[in-house]
Amino acid sequence: MLAGTACAAVTAAATVPALAADGERAPSAKPAETAAARGELLSAEHVRAMPARKVREWLESDGFDAGRVRYGVDAYRLVYRTVDTRRRATTASGLLVLPRDGARGALRTVSYAHGTMSYKADAPSRADTVWARGPAVTYGAAGFAAVAPDYLGLGSGPGAHPWKDVPSETTASVDMLRAARQFAPRRGRTLERDVLVTGFSQGASAALGLARALQEGADPWFRTRAVAPISGAYDFRGAELPALLGHELDPKMSVAYATYLLTSWNRVHGGLYTAPEEVFRQPYAKDAERLFDGTTPGREMLETLPGTIGELLTPRGFDLLRHPTPSFAEALRVDGEVCTAWTPRVPVRLYEIGRDEQATTANTAHCAASLAARGVRAPVVDVADRTYGGSRHLGSNLSGTALVVRWFAGLR
């Protein structure tokens, strides 16, 4: 799941300077949250332009498949109004990638939700790397309007990111679609109503959350057409935490996820701990919250944390993850509702990689079973062996994106 930070820490992702930049700014913000204000576009900045030939070279330089590249692309950083975890007015950012070179008029829309990252500058709208922007550019170059929200607290968003908080990932994603729809006519485009929804790792749950919200009428214009999440941790209590605590996953990544979960959910839900040393051993307790407040680069975060979960957690920390308190258990239940509490009326495919060292494949099996119990056939697609920076989990984003763009291109 730790896509952005792990990538920054253990790989050398290719970075290419932006070829073009300009800025547009909307009128000043209104202070109060209203239904009309959510999704209001506040600013748009042109952050990259590439012809089709350059897109192919750029994607292939970091392992992304360029087989569906048909167009050059223009990429924009959008900043827009949304709401925070308590439904208070705030702002968020995201990346919009539009095709060029003859792609005109109404565009089919793909929403791509990125994987776990803890550093604001790693988000798609700010990190000019192939890893951060590759999926969105893949969809844009295939002829889609690619919408990639940063989520709350990442990119240009204020505050700390509420990690794996599906409700706020959903509102940020819905409102990013609205902002993209406002901006597209400035470039002579419109966005079709149907949205093809995908996401990787953390973004797999976010994708299902968005698909559910659009199906249930969260926006009067957009509607779900299909959903294709990749390598998600959909059942954190029933699959991910047992695998993490059972030493079945990568030890260092398990440490990072346990720390991120406890610090983030203590901010969002409260009640997990009063002081970090209650759940984290020293010397790690003193740094735990700082490492995940959005200001610490991923490499520094991983270097500061210990190598094993036993070095990280106190007995109370272990007990909390093994036997969640009622409020913690309720938050985990809500997180899992992306697979258990709705009945998709659109095609669903669940993508996974065998022997995933970060998101155990039991997550996908549990999600498919939950959907099947509601009468929904959601085929599980093995993306085949692939690694990125030595990680099969990260590699699944490369091969999964290649498969998803082909599936989406064939849907009408």
Q: What is the pLDDT of residues 276-287, one digit of tens each?
A: 999 999 999 999
Alpha-carbon distances of 48 from 24, 74, 128, 133, 402, rounded to whole Å: 15, 6, 8, 10, 22
Q: Is the pLDDT of residue 22 over 90?
A: no
**Distance between CA 166 and CA 276 in Å, rounded?**
24
Token couple for 123: 């988000």
Work out the average pLDDT over 356-379.
Answer: 98
**Distance between CA 227 and CA 135 in Å, rounded?**
15
- pLDDT band, residue 105 (cuts 50/70/90): confident
Give the rounded percent of residues in the chain with a pLDDT score beyond 90. 90
Under DSSP, is residue 25 helix (H, G, I), strand (E, B) or coil?
strand
**Distance between CA 268 and CA 375 in Å, rounded?**
33
| pLDDT tens per residue across span 372-385 | 999 999 999 999 99
Domain boundaries, the chain: 3-235+340-410, 236-333
**Distance between CA 194 and CA 411 in Å, rounded?**
11
**Distance between CA 181 and CA 176 in Å, rounded?**
9
Of 36-50, 95-109, 135-149, 178-192, which gets the smallest average pLDDT? Answer: 95-109
| pLDDT tens per residue across span 29-60 | 344 455 569 999 999 999 999 999 999 999 99
| pLDDT tens per residue across span 390-411 | 999 999 999 999 999 999 999 9
Q: Is the pLDDT of residue 4 over 60?
A: no
State residue 26's pLDDT score: 37
For domain 3-235+340-410, the CATH architecture is 3-Layer(aba) Sandwich (3.40)
**Distance between CA 229 and CA 111 in Å, rounded?**
11
State residue 36's pLDDT score: 61
State residue 27's pLDDT score: 34
Q: Is the pLDDT of residue 348 over 50?
A: yes
State residue 397's pLDDT score: 98
Transcribe 194-247 into DSSP letters: EEEEEEETHHHHHHHHHHHHHHTTSSSS-EEEEEEEES----IIIIIHHHHHTT
**Distance between CA 279 and CA 266 in Å, rounded?**
11
Phi (first) and psi of residue 85, to 5 degrees: -65, -15
State residue 117's pLDDT score: 98
Q: Burial, 166: exposed, middle or buried (Cβ in 10 Å; 0-12, 13-18, 19+)?
A: buried
Token couple for 213: 């919200």
State residue 172's pLDDT score: 98
Work out the average pLDDT over 241-261.
Answer: 98
- pLDDT band, residue 101 (cuts 50/70/90): confident
Q: Is the pLDDT of residue 66 over 80?
A: yes
Phi (first) and psi of residue 233, to 5 degrees: -105, 70
- pLDDT band, residue 103 (cuts 50/70/90): low
Of 5-19, 85-99, 265-279, which gets the smallest average pLDDT? Answer: 5-19
Note if the bond before 283 is cis, omega within 30 degrees: yes
Report the mean per-residue pLDDT for the chain.
92
Return contacts of 381-386, CB within 8 angstroms, 24+ apart.
381/349, 381/350, 381/351, 381/352, 382/352, 382/353, 382/354, 383/230, 383/351, 383/352, 383/353, 384/353, 385/353, 385/354, 386/353
Strand (E) or helix (H) holding 193: strand 189-200
Q: Is the pLDDT of residue 72 over 80?
A: yes
State residue 35's pLDDT score: 57
State residue 297's pLDDT score: 98
State residue 412's pLDDT score: 85
Work out the average pLDDT over 305-326.
Answer: 98
State residue 11's pLDDT score: 31
Strands 89-99 and 189-200: unpaired
Fold of 236-333: 434 Repressor (Amino-terminal Domain) (1.10.260)
Under DSSP, is residue 86 helix (H, G, I), strand (E, B) or coil?
coil
